[in-house]
Chain A
Amino acid sequence: MINFVLLISRQGKVRLTKWYSPYSQKERTKVLRELSGVILTRGPKLCNFVEWRGYKVVYRRYASLYFCMCIDPEDNELEVLEIIHHFVEILDRYFGSVCELDLIFNFHKAYYVLDEILIAGELQESSKKTVARLIASQDSLVETAKEQASSISNMIAQATK
């Protein structure tokens, strides 16, 4: 099971965190500090696995971002690498060649995408198309809701409440 997902930039800035196991805020900060110290200092062409506090952290660097997932010791590292790649590909497809800025300004969308890929620390959908379709349907719901909200009658109703 994946215990948490981290996206860290090369400068050590956090871009996304998702905790599937309960960690207190204090622990989370500590985890981040420790792991970014370990992972960001590793050179290229080394293996993508780090042992950490009895767990394994699988990470992979895409451009300036490190995608890290912490898994249980008996989990399959290569599978998790594939999950990371899967996630990145879907992000890429969704944002259209994704870059770090996309994930900053649309951080919530990154969460929605992740929620369609992983749930409770497990992969839920291995098809990129299905994920894309699910997110698209959610987005269209949002659009219709927005249209409703921004209609003039609605604004008047709000204002006169």
Chain B
Amino acid sequence: MAALVDTLLQRSLDDLIKSLRSQPTLESSIISRSISEIRREIRSTNPLTKSTALQKLSYLSSLHFLDISWSSFHSLELLPSPSFTFKRLAYLSASLSFHPSSDLLLLATNQLRKDLSPSSPSPVISLALDFLSLTASPDLARDLTPEIHSLLSSPNPSIRTKATATALRIFTRYPDSVRVAFKRLVDNIDSSAAIGVFCELSASDPKPYLPLAPDFYRLLVGSKNNWILIKVLKIFARLAPLEPRLARRIVDPVCEHLRRSNAKSLVLECARTVALSLADYDEAVRLVVEKVGEFLASEDDANLRYLGLHVLSMLGPRHSWAVEMNKELVIKSLCDPDANIRREALLLIMEMLFESNVVDISILLVSFASKSMPNPEFCNDILEAVLSACGRNVYELVMDFDWYVGLLGQMSRNPHCAKGDEIERQLVDIGLRVKDVRPELVCIARDLLIDPTLLGNSSIHRILSAAAWVSGEYAEFSRNPLELLEALLQPRTNLLPTSVSAVYIQAVFKVLTFCFCSYFERLESGHMLSSLGNPIAGTGCQEESDASTVVFGKGDNAAVGNLNNTGAIGCKPDSLSGSVNLDEQFTHASVLRMLNLIETAMVPLSNWGVVEIQDRALSVLCLIHMLQRFQVWNRDEEGLRKDGRVSEFANLMAGVFNQELGPVSANSQKRVSVPDGLILKENLADLTAVIGEEVNVSVSASTSFFHRKHHNGETGEETKILTESTSLLSEHRKRHELYYLPAGKDEAQSNDYPPANDPQLPVSQCGASEDLVELDDQPLLSRHRKPTKPRPVVVKLDDVDVRENSAPESTVDLKDDLLSGAVCDVLLGNEDNKPTKTQKKSAKSQRRKKDRPTYVEPASASQLRESGNLVHVELGSSSSKISRHGHSKEKQSSSQGIEDNEDGSQKNLTNSQHHYRKHKHRQDRDALPNLLPQTPVIQDFLL
């Protein structure tokens, strides 16, 4: 009685839905209340109450995304219900709550077996099959293989279809089932479900399905069902690369479909098949390109434009002319309103990048990105694509680095540019790797640094940091170091984040060092000249420098004034940069002025709140004070020259930065061999105390700023006790020798371990390390334009090569392996592997064949059989494999006969299928006279 009351008072699904819809704000509370109701109701013994509870739960799971895995047991309870209503609800909620990994699934095995038995009503079978196809676990697959096997030949076509589709899941979860059920699957090969299964199976390993090629070919030629044709084409796209003769055979039918079909999906599939595996056949490719052109030109269908680009990018690598032909449409697609189409077009263009066109295309894209882009996201996509394409494999596409560095500069000026990190990396990387480009690089960096407007854009601060580093490190290439200093010290630099400011100050330090070192060098050489008895040259030099002193004397005040005022120095580069000649720049007065300028700028920074900046600013100030302490400054050049201390100091300072920096390989640390006598401890805990003072030492995987940081740290310490700078440095080096990279050749030889980053290192010394001069061993492909000027040397490190060369090992899934092995066994009758099983099976199939009624074979079947036998006779002596195959063929053709026989009983067959069949018959009749020429066709497939 209580059960009846429960049933009567239970809220129905409709009630639940209505209450949820009427109060959308209270949704969560309604859900939690009804869940607690359901938890109570679901335990009821009354199937009606239980099923309603499960139904409500299914609703909540499906539309409100509740986790209902806890209810899976209750749906199992309802599964055996004799009432179809409850069964259907139980299966629905089970399919929502179960997962192939659920433990409870095993409990369902028996019920599924019962429901899958051929005597159950077909709706029940189809429910069970649906459920099994979703949740088949290896155990379930193993236990239910016999049921699936028998259902594969069910008289009901819809059950057969479902069983076929479920067989795929059974095969993949439990590969041994292939040995039992695969033949029946081959029997059903004409159905779209079976073709779908073969299509899925061949995706992981197509090879075992080669023997079925004649059947697929028959469908390709004969079928009128587009769904089937698409799948068959997919299968052929995978099979054709394995067997060249197959490709030759299918070209014509594929072209035929391309020409004839009105269905765009079929045309698309044909085009893909051609692009994937028939790219050698010019006629087919031309046809595809024509169709793709139509696709691309369809104004009103974005789908076709997208897919056209897609197919084109599949064709592109082999047939660049195809892209060339549709070039305008592709470029036009870059402005498409659809972001996906734009991206596809960009991808396509980037794939077509070769040495010969990289310059043109990159310029086109970068200018495209900078002008008129209403869409910053895509603009950055373009920049990223260009950056990654040009930077690929250590800039292998770039022949002219001067141009590329200029392009990087242009990208930086793009107002939407958000690729600062990558541009920064490349600027520094190129500086380190490519010696020849440094002058141009410094020039580009100067242009970037000098522009005060760029400082306002926070996304390119990283680029400015790289520019500052480059111009500091390679200050010797700067045409006008004084101008550079002014750019580095301009007032708007206070907009920079501290990390970048620190790099700026460090760059100032380097430029300053370079300036006065070269100034003293000039003085020395001038002195030498005059002392050699060449007074004319000496005075000439003197006069010259006097003249420029006057010039700079004028500019001096103006520039300092500028600095103190608004500081639009960048806008007036002419304030100082009158001369280009380095010698003329470094006059007594100009160097003095430079010292003043730097001092003025550094004083406020020396009180800065951030230690990074304060530290560096103090270092610079320290150096300046040191220089100013030489009283001779205030006298003249002659006095300066005579002061030995000054030149000695200049030499010391010049030594600080003269070490060449190179790129660091990511695995350089590994190659450092342990010196004799050094015992490496397993437990490094007691090293923490040492590490405490060793902040500088960091192992960086990237090439970017590793060295620089190192240097910064050193010099920061050093300059405080400036006169001993180099001695301290060497002391430090002695103490922590292991952490230093070698300075030069001499040291490299004295050290025990091979240096990681020395570009001059001979190959013999360190086997793995190679310096690749790209040009020498590069095969000149036809697409490569002869370079107008030689490509500069790009320093490459071994790890890059290793990474490129070692293609990832193709790891075949064990399951796949098992599966395709089993399929091979079945199709080729590999007797060695499973003798007992296969024999048993063949006996079984013999028996099965006997049971079949006799019938009049249609022409195609006999033809097929004949061809099969033909092969049998021809090749049978050489291998038992083929004979077995011929056998399967025979069986398959007989099954087809049965289907034809049953045609009458299957009144429910659809119109289209009817058409298809009719057509097939007609074709068969047509095919009859051509029997003789056609037989070798099929034999061709059978290897």
A contact residues vs B (CB 8 Å cutoff): 1, 13-17, 19-20, 22, 24-25, 28-29, 32, 43, 45-51, 72, 74, 76-79, 81-82, 104-105, 107-108, 111-112, 115-116, 119-120, 122-127, 129-130, 133-134, 137-138, 141-142, 144-146, 148-149, 155, 158-159, 161
Contact = CB atoms under 8 A, between A and B. Distances in A.
Contacts of A81: 265, 303
B278 to A, nearest CB: 16
For the complex of A and B, 4 pairs with smallest distance between CB atoms: A127-B910, A78-B265, A47-B302, A122-B196
Contacts of B243: none
A80 to B, nearest CB: 9
A159 B165 contact: no
A125 B161 contact: yes
B88 interface: yes
Given A107-B59, A119-B165, A119-B166, A142 B264 contact: no
Contact of B123 (A124, A129, A138): A138
Interface string B44-85: 001010000001001100111101010000000000000111
A77 B121 CA distance: 36
A47 B269 contact: no
Given A47-B340, A126-B227, A14 B123 contact: no
A45 B99 contact: no
Contacts of B910: 126-127, 129-130
A145 B302 CA distance: 49
Interface string B112-142: 0000000001110010011001100000000
A93 B234 CA distance: 32
A15 B63 contact: yes
B89 interface: yes
B103 to A, nearest CB: 15
A159 B1 contact: yes
A114 B88 CA distance: 14
B572 to A, nearest CB: 48
A46 B338 contact: yes
A63 B833 CA distance: 57
B234 A107 contact: no
A104 B200 contact: no
A28 B67 CA distance: 10
A58 to B, nearest CB: 9
B149 interface: no
A81 B301 CA distance: 13
B21 to A, nearest CB: 8
Contacts of A122: 165, 168, 193, 196-197, 200
Contact of A17 (B62, B122, B134): B62
Contacts of B48: 149, 158
B854 interface: no
A158 B46 contact: yes
Contact of A107 (B63, B121, B162, B166): B63
Contacts of B268: 76-78
Contacts of B134: 19-20, 120
Given A1-B200, A51-B340, A124 B193 contact: yes
Contacts of A115: 126, 130
B170 to A, nearest CB: 10
26 contacts: A32-B65, A46-B340, A47-B306, A48-B303, A49-B306, A49-B340, A50-B340, A76-B268, A77-B307, A79-B230, A81-B303, A105-B17, A108-B92, A115-B126, A116-B158, A120-B168, A120-B169, A125-B161, A126-B910, A127-B911, A133-B908, A142-B88, A145-B84, A145-B86, A159-B3, A159-B4
B14 interface: yes
A124 B230 contact: no
Interface string B9-37: 00001100100010000000000000000
A142 B85 contact: yes
Given A22-B100, A124-B162, 13 more contacts: A15-B63, A19-B134, A49-B340, A50-B340, A74-B203, A76-B268, A81-B303, A107-B58, A125-B158, A133-B908, A138-B84, A138-B123, A144-B84
A126 B912 contact: yes
Nearest to B172: A120
A126 B62 contact: no
Contacts of A161: 3
Contacts of A1: 200
Given A45-B302, A141-B84, A142-B85, A124 B92 contact: no
B101 interface: yes
A124 B69 contact: no
B163 to A, nearest CB: 10
Contact of B303 (A25, A78, A116, A123): A78
> Which of A115, A120, A145 has the most chain B CB atoms inside 10 A of its CB?
A120
A82 to B, nearest CB: 6
B889 interface: no
A47 B166 contact: no
Nearest to A43: B337
A138 to B, nearest CB: 5
Contacts of B166: 119-120
Contact of B158 (A20, A134, A144): A134
A78 B48 CA distance: 44
Nearest to A78: B265
A47 B303 contact: yes
B65 A142 contact: no
Contacts of A126: 192, 225, 227, 910, 912
B913 interface: yes
Interface string B908-942: 10111100000000000000000000000000000
Given A82-B265, A124-B162, A159-B4, A14 B83 contact: no
A129 B912 CA distance: 11
A114 to B, nearest CB: 10
A138 B337 contact: no
Contacts of A116: 126, 158
A116 B307 CA distance: 29
B305 interface: yes
A120 B133 contact: yes
Contact of B83 (A47, A111, A133, A149): A149
B544 to A, nearest CB: 66
A22 B99 contact: yes
Contacts of B55: 108
B348 interface: no
A74 B234 contact: yes
B341 interface: yes
A48 B912 CA distance: 28
A36 B583 CA distance: 67
A127 B906 CA distance: 14
A102 B940 CA distance: 55
A149 to B, nearest CB: 6
Contacts of A158: 3-4, 7, 46, 48
Interface string B201-234: 0010000000000000000000001110010001
Contact of B912 (A127, A142, A145): A127
A104 B17 contact: yes
Contacts of B337: 43, 45-46
A127 B913 contact: yes
Nearest to A141: B84
A111 B126 CA distance: 13
B312 to A, nearest CB: 15
B196 A141 contact: no
> Which of B17, B59, B63, B126 has the most chain A CB atoms inside 10 A of its CB?
B63
Contacts of B63: 13-16, 104, 107
Given A29-B65, A124-B165, A159-B1, A111 B92 contact: yes
A67 B88 CA distance: 24
B192 A123 contact: yes
A53 B23 CA distance: 36
Given A1-B200, A158-B46, A28 B65 contact: yes
Contacts of A22: 99-101
A45 B300 CA distance: 8
Contacts of B303: 47-49, 77-78, 81
Nearest to B169: A120
